């Protein structure tokens, strides 16, 4: 009986001896390296997803450039205007400052729909 007990205990102890000792915890340097690689991977995948949208936005901004130049020519110096104010009906009013020089002459109408000046010089938008 003692022999059987000794044999069974030795068989149970064999798997415990075969286990590897626990690995030491990673150092702080290894942790920062892992964080850096993870952040780099995240940013690269994010840029890959955003690249088409950024290119499309760039094309749109390039098309907007001529319109912004026309608006700047129409307004003249922005410092000659007061801050915009919203009216109760939702309209936005941008008043010219009282001490500002006269506004620049309006550019010639391009003949597009709704851009023909009225006899008093106003343009319906």
Query: Is 69 inside any structural domain?
Result: yes
Establish if 95 belongs to a structural domain: yes
* Nearest by Cα to 80 from 91, 95, 66, 59: 95
pLDDT band at 13 (very low <50, low <70, confident <90, very high): low
Question: Does residue 92 lie within any of the structural domains?
Answer: yes
| Rounded-to-integer distance, Cα 103 and Cα 110, Å | 20
Q: Name the domain count of the chain.
A: 1
- Give a yes or no: residue 45 inside a domain: yes
Instruction: Please state, in angstroms and rounded to a whole number, the distance separating the CA atoms of residues 27 and 20.
Output: 20
**Domain housing 68:** 40-100
In a domain, 11, yes or no: no
Decide if 10 is inside a domain.
Answer: no
The per-residue pLDDT for range 48-94, each reduced to its tens digit, is 888 888 888 888 888 888 888 887 777 777 788 899 999 999 999 98
Q: Is residue 58 part of a domain?
A: yes
Instruction: Taking the CA atoms of 9, 13, 15 and 18 in sequence, report the sign of the dihedral they define.
Output: negative
Q: pTM value?
A: 0.32
Q: Is 80 exposed, middle or buried (0-12, 13-18, 19+ CB in 10 A)?
A: middle
Q: Is residue 32 part of a domain?
A: no
């Amino acid at each position: 009986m003692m022999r059987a007990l000794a044999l069974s205990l030795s068989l149970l102890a064999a798997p415990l001896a075969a286990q590897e000792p626990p690995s030491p915890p990673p150092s702080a340097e290894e942790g920062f390296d892992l964080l850096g690689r993870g952040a780099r991977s995240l940013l690269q995948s994010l840029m890959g997803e955003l690249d088409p949208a950024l290119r499309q936005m760039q094309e749109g901004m390039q098309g907007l450039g001529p319109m912004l130049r026309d608006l700047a020519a129409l307004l003249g110096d922005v410092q000659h205007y007061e801050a915009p104010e919203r009216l109760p009906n939702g309209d936005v009013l941008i008043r010219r400052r009282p001490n500002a020089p006269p506004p620049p002459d309006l550019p010639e109408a391009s003949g597009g729909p709704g851009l023909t000046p009225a006899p008093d010089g106003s343009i319906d938008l």
